[in-house]
Amino acid sequence: MKKAIDAHVHLSERKDDLLRRYGDLNGLEYTLEELLHEMQKYGVAHGLLLSPPTAPGGIVTNEEVFSLCRRSRGMLSPVVTVEPTVEEVKAALRLAEEQRKAVKGFKVRLGYVDASADSRVFADLYDYAEAEGTPVLFHTGDTATRDGDLAKSHPLVLDSLANRRESLTIVICHFGNPWMQDTAELIYKHPNVYADISGLTTGGGPYGKKLTGLLATKLSEAVYYAGGGEKILFGTDYPVTRHAEALEIVRMMDVDESDKERILWRNAQGVFRL
Ligand SMILES: [Zn+2]
């Protein structure tokens, strides 16, 4: 595999970053230098950086995400995380306006925050994203914390939003895992809905290899359902999944090389205008 774009990366330098434990689990240092080194080693040309969660219920600020991107020697671009309050939506849109060239997307943390994808609080965000053609990434599926709200992070909650907003580019993060067939239906049904395959494995374990094979099978089925690999985006969710493991899932998929190339970088290049 020659090249990849990572549509889903996390990083911070804060002690209370909740993803630190995944770094430990994977034997990663979880630093900017390590991340850039891993990217180079595995041929990942570019990554989209998203704010990680902090204890309790918070997130690393978008400002810190921007600052890390500025130190990344051009390898990382920021995605602005938008929390569900009027003030936060306003602040996110202000930041996107100021940093128009840098911002590659918005992120909504379904399942972690007390709001649904259809909440009115996001209306201005969706209006702006539609007008600017900026994708909105939604956390979906399993939550990293025990008290997440799965009814809010189930991928099918995005069907009504996609119905109402035809020109909003929606990215379903983590392929809705474990509701991957539902996600396959959504990317098949809606022209503007995509899904990333980040964060699907972590820490190996006794069934690590079998799980990688199972995920490769399920994602291949999604390509068959959709009639092609145009809607799937590669991602690691670093530090949740190691680069080697995330790439191994794509390598094991039973699809044409041209579709693997789409999944690894071509689709992301188009969706995020990289
Ligand atoms: Zn993530």
pLDDT digits 0-9 by tens, 92-129: 999 999 999 999 999 999 999 999 999 999 999 999 99
What is the chain's length?
274
Q: How far is the C-alpha of 24 from the C-alpha of 209, rounded, in Å?
A: 20
Q: What is the pLDDT of residues 4-63, one digit of tens each?
A: 999 999 999 999 999 999 999 999 999 999 999 999 999 999 999 999 999 878 999 999
Buried b (16+ CB within 10 A) or exposed e, 122-132: beebbebbbee
Domains of the chain: 4-271 (3.20.20.140)
Ligand 1 centroid to Cα of residue 141, in Å, is 11
Tokens of 32: 């900017």
Residue 81 alpha carbon to ligand 1 centre in Å: 11
Could you report the per-residue pLDDT of 133-168, keeping only the tens digit for each?
999 999 999 998 888 999 999 999 999 999 999 999
Q: pTM of the entire structure?
A: 0.96
Q: What share of the chain is helix, strand, coil (3-state, %, to 5)?
A: 45, 15, 40
Q: What is the predicted pLDDT for the residue at 159?
A: 98
Q: What separation in Å is there between the alpha carbon of 90 and the centre of ligand 1? A: 23
